[in-house]
Amino acid sequence: MSIIVTGGAGFIGSCIVRALNDRGLEDIIIVDHIAETDKWMNLRNKKYVKYINRDAFLEQLPKYSGRVSHVIHMGACSATTEKNFDFLYKNNLEYTQTLWNFCVENQICFLYASSAATYGDGAQGFDDRTDISQLRPLNGYGYSKQLFDLWVEKQVLKPKQHVGFKFFNVYGPNEYFKGSMASVIFHSFNKITETGEMGLFKSYHNKYADGGQLRDFVYVKDICKVILFMMDHPEINGLFNLGTGKARSFYDLATATFRAMKLEPKIKYIDMPETLRPKYQYFTEAVMDKLRSVGYQEAFTSLEEGASDYVCNYLAKGYEVY
């Protein structure tokens, strides 16, 4: 039985393909929209049977009835700055609904990416046991993910398994082609390499020092471990946070990057653009009790360990692909 991985040439998707390969699984169909990007480079060390363009895939979907065990849906427009909501609605909601219905009809396991962006400004907290109808995302991307999460709650017919993941701030190898949406560690490494220093935003909140804004940074290899855990436990269903459960500051992140590069930290504080200040989030931290309650016991990689592995084994080696 084949495994379909949408977004399989992208950041998280290609890392999942690597994790599947490491398990000896090679009957993988990769769906993505590579076009003129260099995402194909993420596939050079992967084993899979076929690549299908995202736009052509839905037409071909019926012929895979009875031939697929899992659909791992990581494909989406993940740009929080995307302004074309019609595109987000079609790509992030309707496309995902079509895959869900295919999995229902064929009783296939469906694992998919939601997002911590659904939590909006965090006024309702970051607990995946909260009533999601109370959440108010701050951008079109987060809202498009929220719409699917809400739609799932109303479905009477469900796939063999359905698990959604609210990813927090994911970083790690294979994110090299995400441009401005790549992680702060990726941009920090490049900035430090170029100038020897790193700039962090000043704080405009009296509770937080400059560079002291907090995020839940989660290493992509931990994401892969959770995906594999869910594949091993088809009895588990639901919507789960996927962070570390421990918020860390951008100062900690920058310092960890300098240390991994064997350099003394040289950090300067820069003005935050005025347009960003009113909606800026100063704190995100995943509540991880729900994932733990279904039996996931693995420890999450610390920021220092993750930065060291990422910098030393991937970024410093010419953007080595995982």
On whether residue 276 sits in a domain, the answer given is yes
Same domain, 127 and 207: no
pLDDT in tens, 52-102: 999 999 999 999 999 999 999 999 888 777 889 999 999 899 999 999 999
On whether residue 322 sits in a domain, the answer given is no
Catalytic residue among 47, 158, 160, 178: 178
On whether residue 302 sits in a domain, the answer given is no
Per-residue confidence (pLDDT) for residue 272, from 0 to 100: 93
**What is the domain extent for residue 292?**
2-171+217-245+286-296
* 196 pLDDT more than 80: yes
Catalytic residue among 48, 112, 119, 141: 141
H/E element holding 4?
strand 2-6
On whether residue 270 sits in a domain, the answer given is yes
Same domain, 90 and 236: yes
Per-residue pLDDT, averaged over 190-206, amounts to: 95
Same domain, 143 and 238: yes
Residue 47, amino acid: K
Per-residue confidence (pLDDT) for residue 311, from 0 to 100: 98
- With cut-offs at 50, 70 and 90, classify the pLDDT of residue 276: confident
Q: What percent of the chain has pLDDT over 90?
A: 91
Same domain, 198 and 255: yes
Q: Identify each DSSP E strand in 33-120 by its residue range.
A: 50-53, 68-73, 109-113
What gap in Å lies between CA 33 and CA 12, rounded to an integer? Answer: 14
Same domain, 20 and 140: yes
Same domain, 33 and 90: yes
Same domain, 119 and 140: yes
On whether residue 271 sits in a domain, the answer given is yes
Per-residue pLDDT, averaged over 34-44, amounts to: 96
On whether residue 303 sits in a domain, the answer given is no
On whether residue 109 sits in a domain, the answer given is yes
Per-residue confidence (pLDDT) for residue 280, from 0 to 100: 86
Q: Is 178 part of the annotated catalytic residue set?
A: yes
Same domain, 154 and 226: yes
Same domain, 133 and 251: no
Q: Name the domain count of the chain.
A: 2
* 37 pLDDT more than 80: yes
CATH number of the domain within which 229 lies: 3.40.50.720
On whether residue 17 sits in a domain, the answer given is yes
CATH number of the domain within which 255 lies: 3.90.25.10
Q: Is 262 part of the annotated catalytic residue set?
A: no
H/E element holding 5?
strand 2-6
Burial string for 24-60 (b: 16+ CB within 10 Å, else e) reads ebeebbbbbbbeeeebebbbeebebeeebebeebeee
pLDDT in tens, 221-272: 999 999 999 999 999 999 999 999 999 999 999 999 999 999 999 999 999 9
Same domain, 241 and 252: no
Residues 6+ apart with CB under 8 A from 20: 3, 5, 26, 28, 228
Per-residue confidence (pLDDT) for residue 279, from 0 to 100: 80
* 164 pLDDT more than 80: yes
Same domain, 290 and 254: no
Per-residue confidence (pLDDT) for residue 278, from 0 to 100: 83
* 200 pLDDT more than 90: yes
Same domain, 210 and 62: no
